[in-house]
Amino acid sequence: MSIESIQTLAQDEMDAVDVLIRAELRSDVLLINQISEHIIAAGGKRLRPMLTVVAARAAGYTGQDHTALAAIIEFIHTATLLHDDVVDESDLRRGRKTANALWGNAPSVLVGDFLYSRAFQLMVGLDSMAIQKRLANTTNRIAEGEVLQLLHVHNPDTDEAAYLDVIERKTAELFSAATGLAVHLAGADASTCAAMDAYGLHLGMAFQIADDVLDYIGDAETLGKNLGDDLAEGKATLPLIHALGLAKDDVRARLRLIIASGDATAMPEVLSAITRSESLRYCTDKACFHAESAKMALQVLPASPWKQAMADLADYSVARNH
């Protein structure tokens, strides 16, 4: 099942999510509406809310509360993007100017806060302490991941364990909440909820590692962002960490200097080191391991097109070009 087929399968569900998102983004504060419309118009895969509705249906859920849960997940994700772009001083996302590039840092941060608070308003409407507790913990873990990543910026001593800790908190945690809470909403037992927590976690790890590979070998127009942004921001992601560990002393010293300075003009040198150490293959193998682990977790679910869609989304996470 292709990503287009999965989107078709979930079309009605996602249409309902989109209606709710647009309704909940409305405010009597004009600037919030302007920035919100900019965010919606940017499009994006909406992968996390789609995972939420697909997982709920795969677990046999027949109600409508998964729409609100999907919107909550998307609001939390979008809030983190607004804050990320400010921290990273990014000017391009999904092929469009970022909100901070257009309106400045302060409005971007504050609208991010608006989205967080709107997400928690929707949570209250679901009237589930279990959902509120999990999402409160999730947003806290994401914030911890953001701070951890900040501590590793321009740090050539960042190792693989530190990198994996950051992406688990910053990215995979929200994937895990999306799928784990979706089956909880369906009334699944504890073992099924745990399996779907694991599915989302592994999927998120696969997705982020693949994303970090694309930052070195992707197409800027397709990605909708500048290649080498991580390098320019002084972030040592897994391809560079792996290459650094295998490099000869002189090359290692040069790579450490590049990380410390965030020298994006040194991209050819970095790519050369990554190629020599076969770091992209190493990273792709890691991403594939997590994708396969995600698919293994699906064994607890009954056969259905929705379950197949979840398996195919795991494959998509590592095979995509954007």
pLDDT at 101: 85
Whether the CB-CB separation of 173 and 142 falls below 8 Å is answered with yes
Tokens standing for 57? 């249906």
Q: What is the predicted pLDDT for the residue at 125? A: 92
Other Cβ atoms less than 10 A from the Cβ of 214: the count is 17
What are the φ and ψ backbone dihedral angles of 104, each rounded to 5 degrees?
105, 170
Is the separation of the CB atoms in 66 and 52 below 8 Å? yes
Tokens representing 202? Answer: 């592994």
State residue 3's pLDDT score. Answer: 84
Q: What is the pLDDT of residue 217?
A: 83
Report CA-CA distances (Å) from 207 to 28, 176, 201, 319.
37, 12, 10, 10
Beta bridge partners of 42: none
Whole-number Cα distances in Å, 55 to 95, 133, 149, 156: 29, 20, 30, 39
State the first-to-last Cα distance of the chain, in angstroms, to the nearest integer.
18
Tokens of 233: 């921001």
Nearest to 67 by CA among 18, 24, 115, 112: 18
So what's the pLDDT on residue 294?
Answer: 98
Q: Which of 267, 268, 271 is nearest to 279 (CA)?
A: 271
Phi, psi dihedrals of residue 93, rounded to the nearest 5°:
-150, 135
> Helix, strand, coil % (nearest 5) of the chain?
80, 0, 20
Quick one: pLDDT at residue 156? 93
How many other C-beta atoms lie within 10 A of the C-beta of residue 153?
Answer: 16
How high is the pLDDT of residue 229? Answer: 78
pLDDT of residue 235: 87
Q: Which amino acid is at 248?
A: K
Distance between CA atoms of 191 and 194, rounded to whole angstroms?
5
Please, what are the domains in the chain? 3-319 (1.10.600.10)
- Phi/psi region, residue 44 (left: phi>0; alpha: psi -120 to 50; beta: rest), is left
Provide the pLDDT for residue 11: 93
What pLDDT tens digit does each residue of the chain (322 aa) get? 688 899 899 999 999 999 999 999 888 899 988 888 888 777 677 899 999 999 999 999 999 999 999 999 999 999 998 888 888 777 777 667 888 888 888 988 998 899 999 999 999 999 999 999 999 999 999 999 999 999 999 999 999 999 999 999 999 999 999 999 999 999 999 999 999 999 999 999 999 999 999 888 866 555 555 667 788 888 899 999 999 999 999 999 999 999 998 888 888 999 999 999 999 999 999 999 999 999 999 999 999 999 999 999 999 999 887 6
**97 forms bridges with which residues in the sheet?**
92
Looking at residue 226, its pLDDT comes to 62
pTM more than 0.75: yes
